[in-house]
Amino acid sequence: MPDGSLSLPARLYLLSWDTEKLKVTGATHLHHLVRAGALTELAQRGLLADVEGIATPVDPDARTGDLALDGLLELVEESRPRKWKAWVTLRARVTLDAVRAQLAAEGYLRAEKKRVLGLFPSVEYELARVSAVDGLRAEARQVLVGAQPVADVSDRDAALVALAAAAQLRTLLSGKDRRLHKDRIEELTDRSGAAAPALKKVIQEVRTAVMVAVTTGAATGG
């Protein structure tokens, strides 16, 4: 994948941008998708472990150097024990805000400070590196529809596509794509947690929580 130094939640966020209309799609549940990406990456890195269904920090002193990932680690450490699916939604906008701030600092986004109703400070973001997002999308599409065996796909790339599919991210794949490539998406989901049986269970639970959040949001009008 291009821009391989980007975290999984950052790449999921960038994939949500429609580079023709220059706007984000799926905004009503984007924070859930980004949080799911952060949980998945922390689990894949071995920094969050599954202890009887609870997302549990492995080392209270461990940090990744990534603002969004470390912020989530601290939040989990300082909160009461919760299951993975709870963390997909709980204060998820905190992770989204951290991802956007980091991407703005790295030049992927342009941040413009505004005031709502002339009083309340707010930040609006514009996409600055369209070509980078187009490249990321092209590579992700190859993971989805290409001839590369799933076993040769990295666990992070597999998770990227599996989570995007779970969130019905239209900027990467249509409903027809999800139906047509259903079996490969399932294989990519398994590949995401290939490092350990416990990790595979975690990925499945996080993916299911994203699907529930998206479906519930659609049913209630967002």
Which one, of 90, 62, 92, lies nearest residue 74 by Cα? Answer: 62
0.85 cut: is pTM over it? yes
Residue with tokens 């900027």: 171
pLDDT band at 1 (very low <50, low <70, confident <90, very high): very low
Q: Return the percentage of the chain with pLDDT > 90, whole number.
A: 85
Q: Determine if residue 51 is left, alpha or beta; phi over 0 gives left, psi from -120 to 50 gives alpha, anything else beta.
A: beta
Residue 219: pLDDT above 60? no
- Hey, what amino acid is at 66? D
* 158/41 Cα distance (integer angstroms): 11
List the one residue out of 75, 68, 36, 55 whose CA is nearest residue 165: 36
DSSP state of 80: P
